[in-house]
Amino acid sequence: MGADRSYAYGAAAGLLGDLLLGDPQRMHPVAAFGRAAGRVERALWHDHRGWGTLHTLVCAGGATALGVVAARAVRAVCPGPAASAALTAAATWAVVGGTSLAREASAVGRALERGDLAAARARLPHLCGRDPEVLDADAIARAVVESVAENTSDAVVGALVWGAVAGVPGLLGFRAVNTLDAMVGHRSPRLRRFGWASARLDDVAGWPGARLTAVLAALAGDDPRGAVRAWRADAHRHPSPNAGPVEASFAGALGVRLGGTLSYGGRVEHRPVLNGTGRPVEVADIGRAVRLSRRVGLLALGVTVAGRLIGRGRGR
């Protein structure tokens, strides 16, 4: 049980570090991984799924292997639980991005509250890849709420799930997979084949975290029944198998309507409406979504740590 308790203490300390400090301001490990993955991409790129699969294996496999090596080295050099807890805390702090998510969403919300649409449009790309120049204030608010919902799963809950399953290697591996999907998983002509493996692996890795996020959003939101109803009725209509449950549950929990027409890189998409009985998103809903995201993240820590302790205890 000592190793499991050290993980629990480390994960809690890492999430607390994120809450208090946010992301590392200099030499961010995720940014370093992104630069390394970009160099591998330039070396391996061919318009072929096989080369893209190799790129995914090298980058995601390398990050996971780094976690394995680091965990074993710490146990060998400092066999006590404190060192393992410290490594887990550092890894959790590095890969979890809840505070940065809340900070960026709140910055857009403040700009909209003071009527500074230009500032809101300038800040929106920090959260999502939509074309800000075609969005009015209400559309920006909706984009922020949707981004908060999706990134609660990607930047917080999913990492905690895989950390509970596989420790530090799980934390690093999940963040690597999610980062690769953001880099090469979109359907541009250049990356449609090369990024296929990264996108599919992200779908698989994100599946449990997305469902847990949807459940916790329903429990922590203002309207649990509405969240479950929206999830059951609308999630399957979303083009993403993981964003669908999360955004639908957030929409129902907040009592708002998400989805609809949006624009990415000059390409217009008409997505299904989630929670069609809800009202349109307002600027004030950004703060409500951020607070819901915070509650979901804290609940996810408790659920995943408890799951690890119970699961490992039964396995003995």
Q: Can you give the pLDDT of all 316 residues of the chain as single tens digits?
A: 467 889 999 999 999 999 998 887 777 899 999 999 999 999 999 999 999 999 999 999 999 999 999 999 999 998 889 999 999 999 999 999 999 999 999 999 999 999 999 999 999 999 988 888 888 999 999 999 999 999 999 999 999 999 999 999 999 999 999 999 999 998 788 999 999 999 999 999 999 999 999 999 999 999 999 999 999 999 999 999 999 999 999 999 999 999 987 766 666 677 889 999 999 999 999 999 999 999 999 999 999 999 998 876 565 5
Beta partners for residue 261, in sequence order: 270
Residue in this structure with the two tokens 């990134």, named with its chain if needed: 151
State how far the Cα of 96 lies from the Cα of 198, in Å rounded to an integer: 20
Cβ atoms of 28 and 179 within 8 Å: the answer is no
Residue 316: predicted pLDDT: 55
- How far is the C-alpha of 146 from the C-alpha of 258, rounded, in Å? 7
Tokens of 20: 């208090």
Paired tokens of 205 = 């890795």
How many other β-carbons are positioned within 10 Å of the β-carbon of residue 54? 16
| Res 261: pLDDT | 75
Tokens of 142: 């909706």
125: left (phi over 0), alpha (psi -120 to 50) or beta: alpha
Per-residue pLDDT, 314: 62
For 268, list phi and psi in degrees, rounded to 5.
-90, 130
The pLDDT of residue 267: 67
Amino acid 79: pLDDT: 86
Q: Which domain holds residue 164?
A: 2-315
The amino acid present at 157, given as its one-letter code, is V
How distant is the alpha carbon of residue 124 from its chain centre?
A: 17
Sequence-ordered list of residues with C-beta below 8 angstroms from that of 310, at least 6 positions apart, any chain: none
Report the domain count for the chain. Answer: 1
Question: What confidence score (pLDDT) does residue 241 get?
Answer: 95
